[in-house]
């Protein structure tokens, strides 16, 4: 008898841990719908090839707002609405130019102004170069060796990190703060090795900010091949000069929007689950992996639920956040409005690490909440979602944490992401249809479980 009770208990525990067989079937249907009738790839084609780059304040950004709103309305979601938000409006202007002047040899190298940078004077800047790997090395050089020069930040992303985002995290301070640190010591410009692991000719733009009380010096990314060449040339001739010219400008803030589509919850409409990506993108490519994929996957999640006749208990929202790249104003605005309107957001999922094959989800929440989600692993691991545990959520949904929302960062395979990130080659062709669709299905599966079981 005792043994039978134990067995029964074990059965209950394991059913609780593994979810109902019905869940497993529903999740299979979600993947079948995504892979068999998926729409996200064609949506991405339009967003990237017909609309193209969508930097905050640009015509492309406005077109993307209009188009995603119409698209979600056509899907018949219960409500589609905009959230107005003022966003920074930086423009690149004319294409940048740069060369290494090594004695009589002039070698052109590919650069791209960093987002937020000031322009050079019209005639450009030419100066000697001092190469450093990090800020301590720069500070150790002191004003004497830096003043009047261009500082060249050349710390590569560490290729031995198996998750490329860790390599990015170890290098990106150069891009974000390099100009400020250089200006403190009297530099006239800052050139930063591109945040990429591939050795190629594509400069990677990206956000930077100026500290207060220091001169605003122009700053640009140089391609990894260009950085290698400059470093090698400096070894041979430390007194060579570098020339660059850029035309970028910060205009007054512009009016823009988050775009939100929702399916109303049937039982607990006041509890909201968000799935989102950011609609803005850097201007060099088409904003495919960053983050067109996250946007179309989020809309696809709602489409899949509707197509399968799944009526969520809670309200599910697809949110296209505006201005992740150079301000995060959309994410901040979304959380502000949620607070202002007394909305309860139980969970938010962001897809902003590319449209690659799914690997899992990072979770930001209490130990108990994480544990609950980790117990769903047996339902998700058959689809390659093994990495479910503590981890980052996502920039846009970050501000929701203060409201007690549990955050989920969708984690696709990271190997190729930084080949595309913020470059001219972040285009539709770089996205694989099936990988994109598997991502949407993975997010839909998690939304389904979150809606059914809460947190």
**What binding mask, one character per residue, do residues 307-346 give for its own copies by CB under 8 A, x or -?**
----------------------------------------
CB of 436 to its own copies, least distance (A): 10
Query: Do residues 306 and 261 touch, judged by C-beta distance below 8 A?
Result: no
For residue 423, the minimal CB distance to its own copies (Å) is: 15
Nearest-approach distance from CB 224 to its own copies, in angstroms? 12
306 CB-near residues (< 8 Å, 6+ apart): 75, 76, 77, 263
Q: Parallel, antiparallel, or unpaired: how do β-strands 344-350 and 268-278 relate?
A: parallel
Sign of the C-alpha dihedral, residues 57, 58, 59, 64? Answer: negative
| Cβ-Cβ contacts under 8 Å for 335 (sequence gap 6 or more) | 399, 400, 402, 403
Residue from 31, 168, 282, 428 touching its own copies (CB under 8 A): that is: 31
Sign of CA dihedral 180, 181, 187, 190: negative
49 sits near its own copies (criterion: CB under 8 A)? no
- At residue 117, the 3 state secondary structure works out as coil
- Least distance (Å) from its own copies to the CB of residue 128? 32
Contact between 106 and its own copies by CB under 8 A: the answer reads: no
- Beta bridge partners, 238, equal none
**Among residues 259 and 438, whose Cβ is nearest to its own copies?**
438
Spell out the alpha helix ranges (H) of 38-172.
40-45, 59-74, 135-146, 164-169
**Binding its own copies by CB under 8 A: which of 170, 413, 425, 453?**
413
Residue span binding its own copies (CB under 8 A) among the ranges 104-112, 136-144, 156-164, 292-300: 156-164
Stretch that binds its own copies, among 85-93, 134-142, 262-270, 409-417 (CB under 8 A): 409-417
137 is catalytic: no
Beta bridge partners of 89: 251
Q: What x-and-dash track marks residues 157-196 binding its own copies by CB under 8 A?
A: --xx-x-x--------------------------------
Of 101, 128, 250, 357, which one interacts with its own copies (CB under 8 A)? 357
Q: Is 40 helix (H, G, I), strand (E, B) or coil?
A: helix
Binding mask 382-401 vs its own copies (x if CB under 8 A, - otherwise)?
Answer: xxx-x---------------
* 433 is a contact residue toward its own copies (CB under 8 A): yes
Burial of 2 (0-12, 13-18, 19+ CB in 10 A): exposed
**Residue 201 interacting with its own copies (CB under 8 A):** no
Minimum CB separation from its own copies for residue 319, in Å? 27
Nearest distance in Å: CB 164, its own copies = 8
Strand ranges (E), 92-240: 97-102, 105-108, 111-113, 125-132, 150-153, 189-193, 219-222
CB atoms within 10 A of CB 216: 15
Total number of residues binding its own copies (CB under 8 A)? 26
Q: Which residues are catalytic?
A: 324
Instruction: List residues binding its own copies (CB under 8 A).
Output: 31-32, 35-36, 159-160, 162, 164, 197-198, 357, 359, 381-384, 386, 413, 415-416, 419, 432-435, 438
């Amino acid at each position: 008898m005792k043994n039978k009770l134990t067995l029964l208990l074990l059965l209950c525990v394991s059913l609780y841990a593994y979810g109902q067989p019905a869940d497993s079937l529903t999740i299979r249907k979600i993947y079948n719908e995504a892979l068999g009738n998926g729409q996200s790839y064609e949506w991405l084609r339009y967003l990237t090839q017909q609309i193209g780059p969508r930097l905050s304040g640009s015509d492309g950004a406005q077109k993307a707002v209009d188009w995603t709103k119409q698209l979600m309305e056509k899907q018949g979601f219960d409500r589609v609405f905009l959230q107005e938000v003022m966003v920074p409006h930086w423009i690149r202007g004319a294409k940048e130019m740069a060369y290494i002047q090594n004695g009589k040899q002039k070698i052109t190298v590919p650069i791209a102004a960093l987002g937020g940078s000031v322009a050079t004077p019209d005639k450009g800047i030419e100066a000697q170069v001092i190469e450093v790997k990090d800020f301590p090395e720069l500070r150790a050089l002191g004003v004497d060796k830096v003043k009047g020069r261009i500082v060249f930040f050349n710390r590569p992303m560490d290729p031995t990190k198996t998750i490329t985002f860790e390599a990015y995290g170890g290098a990106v301070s150069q891009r974000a703060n390099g100009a400020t640190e250089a200006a403190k010591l009297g530099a006239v410009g800052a050139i930063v090795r591109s945040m990429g692991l591939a050795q190629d000719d594509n400069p990677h733009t990206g956000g930077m900010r100026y500290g207060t009380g220091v001169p605003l010096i122009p700053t640009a990314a140089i391609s990894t091949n260009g950085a290698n060449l400059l470093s090698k040339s400096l070894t041979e001739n430390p007194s060579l000069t570098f020339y660059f010219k850029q035309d970028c400008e910060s205009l007054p803030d512009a009016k823009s929007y988050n775009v939100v589509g929702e399916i109303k919850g049937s039982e607990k409409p006041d509890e909201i689950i968000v799935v989102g990506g950011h609609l803005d993108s850097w201007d060099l490519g088409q904003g495919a992996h960053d983050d067109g994929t996250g946007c179309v996957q989020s809309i696809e999640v709602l489409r899949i639920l509707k197509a399968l006749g799944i009526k969520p208990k809670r309200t599910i929202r697809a949110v296209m956040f505006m201005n992740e790249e150079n301000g995060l104003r959309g994410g901040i605005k979304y959380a502000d409005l949620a607070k202002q309107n007394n909305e309860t957001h139980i969970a938010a999922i962001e897809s902003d690490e590319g449209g690659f094959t799914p690997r899992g989800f990072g979770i930001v929440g209490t130990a108990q909440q994480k544990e609950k989600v980790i117990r769903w692993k047996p339902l998700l691991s058959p689809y390659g979602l093994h990495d479910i545990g503590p981890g980052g959520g996502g920039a846009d949904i970050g501000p929701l944490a203060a409201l007690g929302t549990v955050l989920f960062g969708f984690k696709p395979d990271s190997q190729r992401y930084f080949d595309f990130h913020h470059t001219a080659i972040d285009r539709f062709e770089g996205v694989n249809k099936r990988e994109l669709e598997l991502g949407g299905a993975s997010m839909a599966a998690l939304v389904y479980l979150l809606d059914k079981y809460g947190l």
